[in-house]
A and B are shown apart, each in its own frame.
Chain A
Amino acid sequence: NAGVTQTPKFRVLKTGQSMTLLCAQDMNHEYMYWYRQDPGMGLRLIHYSVGEGTTAKGEVPDGYNVSRLKKQNFLLGLESAAPSQTSVYFCASSYPVLVPSGANVLTFGAGSRLTVL
């Protein structure tokens, strides 16, 4: 089982450059999420999607765009990278509703470390 796969794992950008992070899941999950992780701040939700073709803003959406053209993929884009976007980005996926069995808790990818110079 691959689970949640993120590419690339590492990337260095210059200020103003653009890039896209790809998240792919093979668990047929409806919901997908992008978080960023910064020291001392835990994980903060950037954008999320509740189904193919839908996206919504999370806690820190500014400077990012997302697309969910296929159910299994969730793309995070930076149109004009800034040093403040240096972070580790995590993708996660889940079924829509938590149930006591816990089968549909969030499953995380391994992370993508982005450095913006």
Chain B
Amino acid sequence: AQSVTQPDIHITVSEGASLELRCNYSYGATPYLFWYVQSPGQGLQLLLKYFSGDTLVQGIKGFEAEFKRSQSSFNLRKPSVHWSDAAEYFCAVGPMEYGNKLVFGAGTILRVKS
């Protein structure tokens, strides 16, 4: 069965520091991978996605993620964190066909200290 693991429940970084959020997945075929962000009291917003091709994908708000098939990972990175990046981040995996039924990780809460 497909699954997504986000090992870090909480992460705290200083403003201006770099960030890496980890995501590992288990999936029987080539997965489609996503990162979503949820600000407090808001819905989920798509940050970036990987379908195929270049394994380093760029997203909105200066985020990027790298797909590593050998490690079954899709880690999210940002070179310099801003206070407004404080939110909860979800990694998700899904199939191409039949209904886009994404499986989500448990989420990582990012705190940014000034």
Do A and B interact with each other, yes or no? yes
Residue numbers of A with Cβ under 8 A of B are 4, 31, 33, 35, 40-45, 48, 50, 56, 58, 90, 92, 94, 96-100, 102, 104-106, 108-111
Residue numbers of B with Cβ under 8 A of A are 4, 6, 9, 32, 34, 36, 41-46, 49, 51-53, 90, 92, 94, 96-102, 104-107
For the complex, give the distance between the alpha carbons of A98 and B42 in Å: 24
A-B CB proximity, top 6 nearest: A42-B104, A108-B43, A43-B104, A108-B44, A110-B43, A42-B106
With a 10 A CB-CB cut-off, give which of A44, A105, A111 has the most chain B CB atoms.
A105
Q: Which residues of B contact A42 (CB under 8 A)?
A: 4, 6, 90, 104-107
Q: Which residues of B contact A96 (CB under 8 A)?
A: 98-100
Task: Determine if A40 and B100 form an interchain contact, defined as CB atoms under 8 angstroms apart.
Answer: no
Chain B, Cβ-Cβ closest to A3: B43
For the complex, give the distance between the alpha carbons of A41 and B94 in Å: 17
B2 CB to nearest A CB, Å: 11
Task: Determine if A102 and B90 form an interchain contact, defined as CB atoms under 8 angstroms apart.
Answer: no
Task: Determine if A31 and B43 form an interchain contact, defined as CB atoms under 8 angstroms apart.
Answer: no
Given the known inter-chain contacts A40-B106, A45-B101, A90-B43, please indicate yes or no for A105 contacting B96, CB distance below 8 A: no
Task: Determine if B99 and A31 form an interchain contact, defined as CB atoms under 8 angstroms apart.
Answer: yes
Task: Determine if B49 and A102 form an interchain contact, defined as CB atoms under 8 angstroms apart.
Answer: yes
Task: Determine if B34 and A105 form an interchain contact, defined as CB atoms under 8 angstroms apart.
Answer: yes
Q: Which residues of A contact B94 (CB under 8 A)?
A: 98
B58 CB to nearest A CB, Å: 12
Q: Which residues of B contact A43 (CB under 8 A)?
A: 44, 90, 92, 102, 104
Given the known inter-chain contacts A42-B104, A42-B105, A90-B43, please indicate yes or no for A105 contacting B99, CB distance below 8 A: no
Task: Determine if A50 and B99 form an interchain contact, defined as CB atoms under 8 angstroms apart.
Answer: yes
Taking A4-B43, A43-B90, A102-B46 as known contacts, 11 extra A-B pairs with beta carbons closer than 8 A to each other, sorted by chain A number, are: A40-B107, A43-B92, A44-B104, A45-B101, A48-B101, A50-B99, A90-B43, A94-B100, A96-B99, A100-B51, A104-B100
Given the known inter-chain contacts A98-B32, A108-B43, please indicate yes or no for A40 contacting B99, CB distance below 8 A: no
A48 CB to nearest B CB, Å: 6
Task: Determine if A58 and B101 form an interchain contact, defined as CB atoms under 8 angstroms apart.
Answer: yes
For the complex, give the distance between the alpha carbons of A35 and B101 in Å: 10
